Structure 1
Amino acid sequence: MALVTAAVVVLDCAEPEQLAAFYKDLLDAEETDASGNRVEIKGADGMRMAFRRDVNATPPSWPRPENSFQAHLDFHVEDLDEVERKVVGLGGRPLETKDMSGPYEERGYADPAGHSFTLRCVRSTAPKQG
């Protein structure tokens, strides 16, 4: 048995209830705990996230260099355009990006509190059947 296991990703924000609602809808998640200054959700795939109230939280400024990355999340998707519409509809916003080169097609966004995340299109490499 591992001595340490990953438990939950926690994002600080001014309004945890609102940010939890954004990710709950995006990830088709369920709320598992809302006590005091923290709201926790669990995604359909088992990913757990929590949102902790910090009235002094400062959102990252990425891609600008000042106060840049504080944390960064990657989500795998099958259809970038469809998920982008969902992100924007939930209050997220696309981030300015100059070069998103790499082995996967990806796009950067900020959640309503300003935390950055990337949607990465992961296409199947298995041959088609039938």
Structure 2
Amino acid sequence: MTVPKTGILVLDSSDPEPLARFYAALLGGTVEPAPGDPDLLLVPSPTGIALAIHRDHGQAPPSWPRPEDSQQAHLRILVAPEALDEAEREAISLGARPVAAELNGTRLDRRSDVRRCTDPAGHPFVIAASPGVSR
């Protein structure tokens, strides 16, 4: 018999409260304290995205998108194809920074259905068009 499990993506941050508010606003969710852990904030969203922000005083932002580095992990936010530009503008208005992976001045990813960003603490995420998502 398999033990019941659930999962959550946890991002480290030296200042978790503003980052949790950023993702709550971006995902239409809320910020809630984690029971029994004062260094963890939960960011549940109505679409089922499970995200948490953990206080880590020594956290350093990832170096992505350098071609020689891997993203390691990233959050992929799915939107209706016709809402991609609007979703990107919303993320940037909340404090996201758009990024483009380049090597010797040549853009590595020319896909028009994915927008690469970092959150205010430097964690990578993408906003991706998905035909299965409706407005």
Partner residue, 2:126: 118
Aligned to 1:43: 45
CA gap of 1:5–1:101, structure 2 versus 1, over 3 A, is farther
Counting aligned pairs with the same residue, the percent is 38
Q: How big is the alpha-carbon RMSD for the aligned residues of Structure 1 and Structure 2? A: 2.1
Distance 1:6 1:117 in 2: 22
| Ranges of 4+ aligned residues in structure 1 off by more than 6 Å | none
| Residues 56 and 70 of structure 1, relative CA distance in 2, 3 Å threshold | farther
Give the deviation of 1:96 after TM superposition.
1.5
Unpaired runs of 5+ residues, structure 2, are 102-106
**Does residue 8 of structure 1 match 2:16?**
no
Contact 1:42 1:49 in 2 (8 A): yes
Structure 1 residue 23, shift from structure 2 partner: 0.3
- Corresponding pairs, count: 123
Any unmatched runs of 5+ in structure 1? Answer: 125-130
- Separation in 2 of the partners of 1:36 and 1:66? 36
Q: Distance in 2 between matches of 1:100 and 1:107?
A: 10
Q: Deviations over 1:46-68 (max 9, x none)?
A: 22211011111111111115664
Give the corresponding residue for 1:128.
none
Deviations, residues 5-63 of structure 1 (Å, cap 9, x unaligned): 33211100111101000000000002232552111110111222110111111111111
Q: Please say if residues 100 and 107 of structure 1, whose CA atoms lie closer than 8 Å, have aligned partners that are also in contact.
A: no
SS in 2 for 1:37: strand
Report the CA distance shift for 1:2/1:77 in structure 2 as closer, same or farther (over 3 A): farther
